Structure 1
Amino acid sequence: MTTRIYQLFLAFCLSTTFFSCKKEDNPVTVQPLTSTTVKDIAADPTSMTSATGQQPVVATGKFTLFSFKDSKQVANSDSATNKWDIGFRGTTIIVNGGPIRTGQGGAYIYTGTFDNLITVPTSATFAQDQTSTQLAIMTGSGKGWYNYDQTTNIISSIPGKVFIIRTGDGKYAKMEILSYYQGAPATPGATSVARYYTLRYLYQPDGSQTLK
């Protein structure tokens, strides 16, 4: 009987060691997140032409709403939901958070580079849209995301500004604005069509503040 018990005990130990080794030999790996570039998000453009090509289409006054999670435009009929994260109309950018919004969103402007921003800084405070004029991302040349050159009439992103966006459902993304012109020309000129955003962003789906 003693020999039988010893054999069973030895078999148990060997099987435990085997499964422990198998578990260690196959560790769970976390795949790094990848950034996404979205081109030509129309921000209520005024330079488009109608189907006949004769009459210009006037601006609608509506924001183009965008979801980082789904990487697509959200219908304005869903503006009172948390389905969208950020909106564009001309040079004005809104976030889905604050007393005039439905979502949990906000914005923090980080000074540095997109690639070096790997987590939400512990000191970050997220601004929200308080009124239609008091916005999380300020408007005006040199105040929020862009500079305006009065000589060339060209709008360009302020270098070294990366936006951390808290999304409508409370998650996080980092974003940089690459261009304000259709086709994202390297050197916009007098004939470049404005009000078309090209963005690079990285969305964190697990709700953590890690942005890499």
Structure 2
Amino acid sequence: MLLITNKTFSLPLLAAAFALLFTACDDSSTGPETGEEESQIETHTVEDLDTGYGGRMTPNDTLYYSLRENSIVDKSDSVSTQWDLAFSGTTIYTNSEASGPGDGGAIVLGQTFDATTIAPSEGYAIDTTATNLAITTGSDNGWYHYTGQKGTPPHTIVPLENTTLIVRTADGKHYAKLRIISWYKGNPDLSSDEFANNSDNYPSGNYTFEYAIQLNGTRTFTEE
């Protein structure tokens, strides 16, 4: 049974009711988490990014990079939020706290690049000091293994398998997944005799990596 009641509404009340209805229908505040936004994934492979390491025991330079723009950022903008990652030798900084003014951060995931389809919603570490970094340094701590004097080949930086870096960009609004492919110019086969016998032909400190970044504000790395 449909019950109809007669009520008199004032114009201000009617206006308020329509405004409320419109707001409810237009609420997109949860859009980025629902995955309903149109996907804006960009994938890039960066080859031989020269950090100026040059085989020195102590890196003499830092290279700043924007994942959002896929470009090198001038050192004069190092105190800005234009860069997302900075490379100095084998050390990778995020634009956060001790390293920069941004809202960046990172998580080191123990899984393959292809298997990583969504960025975690929490758990991002930041660079709290010059030595306590989101992407930890040292052999087997972050992204690489150092073979040492008796390794094969000796004194070589080898990217860890099944390791993906999840990066929150400096603006705090975007997420990228990243895999380091090589630390040597030309991405040589580190197990080959050519590299073992002619390592000087493949200067260190030249990063090759691939990454995917979602620019629509969500954390997903798939087109679905």
- TM-score above 0.5, yes or no: yes
**1:180 matches 2:173:** no
Partner Cα distance (1:184, 1:130) in 2: 32
* Alignment counterpart, residue 43 of structure 1, candidates 36, 51, 56: 51
Secondary structure of the 1:115 match is coil
Q: How far, CA to CA, are the matches of 1:141 and 1:93 in structure 2?
A: 13
Alpha-carbon deviation of 1:29?
10
- Contact 1:98 / 1:106 at 8 angstroms: preserved in 2? no
**Under a length normalisation based on structure 2, what TM-score does the superposition of the two structures give?**
0.72
* Cross-structure match for 1:146: 144
SS of match in other structure, 2:41? coil
Q: Is the 8 A contact 2:40 2:215 kept in 1?
A: no
Name the SS for the 1:112 alignment partner: coil
Distance 2:41 2:94 in 1: 23
Partners of 2:59 and 2:124 in 1: CA distance:
29
One-letter code aligned to 2:48: D
Deviation at 1:43, TM superposition (A): 1.6
- After TM superposition, give the deviation of residue 98 of structure 1 in Å: 2.1
Secondary structure at 2:180's aligned position in 1? strand
Q: Does 2:136 align with 1:134?
A: no
Alignment of structure 1 residues 154-165 onto 2, 5 Å:
154-165=156-167
Contact in 2 for aligned 1:43/1:63 (Cα 8 Å): yes
Counterpart AA for 1:185: P
After TM superposition, the score normalised by the length of structure 1 is 0.76
Contact 1:177 1:200 in 2 (8 A): yes
Cα distance in structure 1, aligned partners of 2:73 and 2:117:
27
CA distance in 1, matches of 2:170, 2:40: 23
Q: Quick one: structure 1 residues 139 and 29, their matched pair in 2 at CA, closer, same or farther if it must change by over 3 Å?
A: closer
Contact 2:63 2:87 in 1 (8 A): yes
Residue equivalent to 1:19: none
Unaligned runs of 5+ in 1: 1-27, 48-56
Runs of 4+ deviating beyond 3 Å: 28-32, 57-60
2:84 and 2:104 in contact (8 A); partners too: yes
Q: CA-to-partner distance for each residue in 1:9-50, whole Å, 9 max, x for gaps?
A: xxxxxxxxxxxxxxxxxxx99567342100011122225xxx
Q: Is the 2:53–2:60 Cα contact (8 Å) retained in structure 1?
A: no
Q: Secondary structure at the match of 1:37?
A: strand
Tell me the residue number matched to 1:82.
81
Q: Distance in 1 between matches of 2:81 and 2:40?
A: 26
Percent sequence identity is 33
Q: Distance in 1 between matches of 2:59 and 2:156?
A: 22
Distance 1:109 1:133 in 2: 16
- Tell me which of 180, 192, 212 is aligned to 1:202: 212
